[in-house]
Chains A and B, each alone.
Chain A
Amino acid sequence: MKRVVIACGSGIATSTIMDDGVRTFLDTTGIKYTTVQCNILEIGNYVEGADVIVSSTKLSTDYGVPTVTGTAYITGIGEEELNKKLLEILSK
């Protein structure tokens, strides 16, 4: 089971779109996963056991977990590259 942490300003709005993007893509890959949404300050509380962090913004803190910026799920620009990156991280 892969664990995806999805973070934005509040864990409510932007992360919900990114969560939808991540789910829509991962459902096509057959990877088993769970997602959790939180705000950026809370990442530290959710990062244990996580396989990847999808964040609405570049993070200045290194949590020791692969991190990607998930804005492509909102704009639709670069969504395929983001999917590829996500797959690469989660296939390890």
Chain B
Amino acid sequence: MEILLGILNFISNLGSTVMVPVMITIVGLVLGLDFFRALKAGMTVGIGLIGINLVMNLVWNYMTPVANALVEIFNLNLRYIDMGWSYVSAVAFSTTVGTFVIPFCLLINIVMLVIKATKTVDIDIWNYWHCAFTGSCVYVTTQNYAIAFMAAGLHFVATLVIGDRFAKMVQEEMDLPGISLPHGSAAPALVIGWLANKFLDLFFKGGEGKENKNTGSIAANPFIRFISDPMMVGLILGTVLALVVGSGVAGSLQTGMAMAALMFLLPRMVKVLMEGLLPLSGAAKKTMAKRFSGQEFYIGMDSAVCLGHPTALSTSLVLIPLTLVIAMILPGNTVLPLGDLASTAYYTAMTTIPSRGRFGRTLFGACIVQALACYAGTYFADVTTAVAVSTGLAEAGSTISSLSATWMDIVVHFIARQGWLGFGIMAALVIALVLWHRTWVAKQPAVTEAE
């Protein structure tokens, strides 16, 4: 144990731009890549991290002063800048816990499949970052690897269970046979959307099938095309906020351009990181497909497969300005939405499903999801910043967060931070979830019989 901890500490002291490539290379070798491909994968991920670092200077130089001025002048307490899920995923993958998350979660998935506690083969290894995020936050809070991995594990198990339970609904509404969404932001949003619908059912009846079919015209609207472009969102928000705090025309336009650059460049840098993970995802897919194929399994995918739904698209556009309003009026919120304004469709797609495509219900559910995201961002603000600083992807003293954390992250982190008591509760929850879900899995008819 001592030696293991010593190795972990040595590795994490190398700094994320060295540590992550080393770890990814090892994971690649374990998954059966040859040395050259594994090394290239690891280095590509590291290069992505360096790229993210370069781009983040835009935030420190331009956006932090504006956010601070907003706090001072208007007493508007939005001092944490929402960096968006892409940045947070990079941060989550570049901690010591995060680099182990891919093999760790794959292993959990395999064990759950073997003991018939899930039907989902989750090949969407990118989105293991949600578990990496929870685990990394827990590690920063507790400084304990065992508790951190237990938290990541609980998060993953819960996501698989939710993915399974909602699979039928997702498949029917989105016409995606054989798919489930064991996705860190999709699963909690599905639950919220479902609860929101249960609530609305108390007051309203009917309306199924009244879908919004005219996204074609909405998407073609020049104004909508303008505000749905992340670059434009950055320009408008940057310029307007800088003007509001009195930066002058030239200074405001510079801030606007810097934010446009951020919205444009940051995802591209994260894409480099994703490219590095590509061979790993291929290898994982092969490993999983060898053992678990056939019709009785669902394939776990990213919620991106649902975004084309007309209701999801049209509500996501309406949700962009609404999120800003929510962030401003929500008591106690400290997160200034920016990066995740480009990802509203991920949430509306999830609330579309339990709403069966009804516009108003979808939007209602999505607003609740965003409000919870604001609170999760507020809850995790200091922790997210601390994790980011520990990986070298943020400067000490910066104030960043995101709207990508969910109520599930809060629950897991809250339990975990109770220390070993939390560890015990989490272990019990994992066992309880597995046992409870196993009886459900056992009752599911084999797909071939059902059809």
Contacts and interface: CB of A to CB of B under 8 A. Distances in A.
B278 A42 contact: no
Interface in B217-243: 219-220, 225, 228-230
Given A41-B313, A76-B289, A9 B271 contact: no
Contact of A9 (B213, B285, B303): B303
Interface stretch (B64-72, B146-154, B341-349): B341-349
B274 interface: yes
Given A56-B304, A57-B307, A75-B299, A13 B123 contact: no
Interface in A35-73: 37, 39-42, 44-45, 55-62, 71
Of B86, B219, B220, B304, which is in contact with the most chain A CB atoms at under 10 Å from its CB? B304
Contacts of B343: 9-10
A3 B207 CA distance: 42
Given A41-B316, A44-B225, A12 B216 contact: no
Contacts of B267: 10-12
Nearest to B268: A12
Interface in A9-27: 9-17, 20
B82 interface: no
Given A10-B267, A45-B225, A61 B219 contact: yes
A12 B271 contact: yes
B308 interface: yes
Contacts, number: 106
Given A9-B303, A12-B274, A16-B274, A55 B308 contact: yes
Given A40-B308, A57-B309, A20 B216 contact: no
A77 interface: yes
B307 A42 contact: no
Contacts of A16: 271, 274-275, 278
Contacts of B345: 9, 39-41
B382 to A, nearest CB: 26
A14 B271 contact: no
A66 to B, nearest CB: 16
Given A17-B278, A39-B342, A75-B123, A10 B216 contact: no
Top 5 nearest A-B pairs by Cβ distance?
A57-B308, A9-B304, A60-B310, A14-B304, A41-B228
Given A8-B304, A57-B174, A60-B308, 6 more contacts: A9-B304, A12-B271, A16-B278, A37-B271, A40-B308, A56-B305
Interface of B: 85-86, 123-124, 126-127, 174-176, 178, 213, 215-216, 219-220, 225, 228-230, 267, 270-271, 274-275, 278, 281, 285, 289, 299, 301-310, 313, 316-317, 342-343, 345-346, 349
